[in-house]
Amino acid sequence: MGIGAAKSRIEQLHRDHSRVLYALASRVLGDAAEAEDAVQETFLRAQRSIRLLTGHVHFPWLYRITLNVSIEMIRSGRRRALLSDSLDEAVHSNAPHLDEVIDGRRRLEELCRLADGRDLEILIAHFVHGLDQGEVADNLGISRRAVVKRLARLRLHKLERLAASGG
């Protein structure tokens, strides 16, 4: 694939999927500017690999890139500082949704401690985005059975951690 064709393909993918990917990043990150950065990074990464792609179904691939970029941003020190700032802003503005913001941040932090890689992608897609197991499988390009097994294993792991901590 030539440079012009690759650029055209990326532009078409951006037109087709950027809104949905922005919504995904926004739900994960909780910040509009950070979500925009995540989508921009997604398409930069996609552009680097576009020549390797075959076929016409690219949304699961883009979904995974966006989710991974968002997770990387959460784990980075820069993102933690932004989260702290947004919580401070919410406290000072007496935002009615402050409890929801804090609870959502705690759940994301717990998910990041509980799992890595594909397991974390599954947890976020299922518990943060509210996708059912079939939708998670479709978006991540894996079988529904794999999603069910990983969720069961993660639940068991969580129960073992609770038992070990006396909770």
pLDDT at 98: 56
Tens digits of per-residue pLDDT, 134-164? 988 988 889 999 999 998 888 777 767 766 7
Give Cβ neighbours of residue 62 (< 8 Å, ≥ 6 apart). 13, 17, 21, 42, 46
Give Cβ neighbours of residue 129 (< 8 Å, ≥ 6 apart). 24, 27
Give Cβ neighbours of residue 47 (< 8 Å, ≥ 6 apart). 6, 7, 10
Task: Read off the pTM.
Answer: 0.57
Domains for the chain: give ranges and CATH numbers. 1-75 (1.10.1740.10), 115-167 (1.10.10)
Mean pLDDT (whole number) for 126-141: 84
pLDDT at 102: 62
Give Cβ neighbours of residue 19 (< 8 Å, ≥ 6 apart). none
Please, what is the end-to-end C-alpha distance for the chain in angstroms?
Answer: 56
Give Cβ neighbours of residue 74 (< 8 Å, ≥ 6 apart). 28, 29, 80, 83, 108, 112
Residue 48 identity (one-letter amino acid): R
Give Cβ neighbours of residue 101 (< 8 Å, ≥ 6 apart). 30, 86, 87, 90, 95
Tens digits of per-residue pLDDT, 52-97? 766 666 788 888 899 889 888 887 755 444 455 554 554 555 554 5
